[in-house]
Amino acid sequence: LSKLKELAEESHKKQIEITDKLGFQVRESVIKFIKILDRANKESKSELLYGVPNDTIYQMSVSTIIKLVFVLYAEQKSMLPHGELLYDKAYGLHTLMSLLNEQKASEELAHRSDAYQQIVALFNIIYHGSNHPDMLSPRYGGEIFDPQKFPLLLDERFEPKNEEIYEILWLLTHADGKIGKE
C-alpha cells in the first residue's frame, strides 16, 4: 500500500510539473504574439497600434493563443473535421505545423508569410461554419472566435511571418524540458 501511495504522490508531482511547463509555454506564446504585433507596428511606422491601449494588445494576444490551444485540442479530440482532406490541406493546424516543419528544413520559413492567413481562415470556419459538402462544419459562433472582436488582427499591415507562427505552434505542441525522471 505504501508503494501505491508513493506512486500516486509521484504522479501528482509530475502532473503539477507538466502543468507548470505548459503554462509557461502558453505564456511564452502570448509574449511572442505581442512581439509580432510590435514588429508589425514598427514596420507600419507606429500606425498599426496607434491609440490601441496596452490591455487591448494583451487581450488580442491572449485571445489568439487561446483559440490556437482550443483548435489543437479540438482537432486531437475529433471535434473539428481533422482527418478530412479539405480541412487538413487548407485549414488544419496540425497539417500547418507539418508544412512549417518542411519549410524550416528547406529554409523557406523565414521568407514566407502565408501561415497566418490559413489560421484566420480556420478561425472564420469555426465561427461561421461550413456547408461545403467536402467539409461540413457547424457554426460555433462565440465571442472568442468573432472576427470583429479584434479587427486589427485582420489589418493587411499585420502579417506575421511563417517563422513566427512556427515558433508559437512549436511552443503549443511540444513539451519543453525533461518530463519524468531526471
Q: Can you tell me whether residue 176 is helix, strand or coil?
A: coil
Dist. CA 145–CA 95, nearest whole Å: 20
| Cβ atoms 37, 158 nearer than 8 A | yes
> 76-121, pLDDT tens digit by residue?
998 888 888 888 899 999 999 999 999 998 888 888 999 999 999 9
What is the pLDDT at residue 179?
37
What is the pLDDT at residue 178?
38
- The answer to whether the pTM exceeds 0.75 is yes
What is the pLDDT at residue 8?
67
Q: Residues with Cβ < 8 Å from 149, sequence gap 6 or more?
A: 63, 143
Dist. CA 75–CA 152, nearest whole Å: 26
What is the pLDDT at residue 15?
62
What is the pLDDT at residue 108?
87
Dist. CA 117–CA 151, nearest whole Å: 14
pLDDT-flagged residues of the chain (< 70): 1, 3, 5, 7-8, 11-20, 175-182
Q: What are phi and psi of 156, to 5 degrees?
A: -65, -20
Dist. CA 31–CA 148, nearest whole Å: 23
What is the pLDDT at residue 177?
45
Q: Residues with Cβ < 8 Å from 177, sequence gap 6 or more?
A: 21
What's the grid cell of residue 58?
494583451
Characterize 122-144 residue by residue with b for buried, 16 or more Cβ atoms within 10 angstroms of its Cβ, and e for exposed.
bbebbbeebeeeebebeebeeee
What's the grid cell of residue 131?
456547408
What is the pLDDT at residue 161?
96
Q: Which parts of the chain fold into alpha helices (H)?
A: 2-43, 54-76, 85-90, 93-105, 115-128, 162-173
What is the pLDDT at residue 181?
35
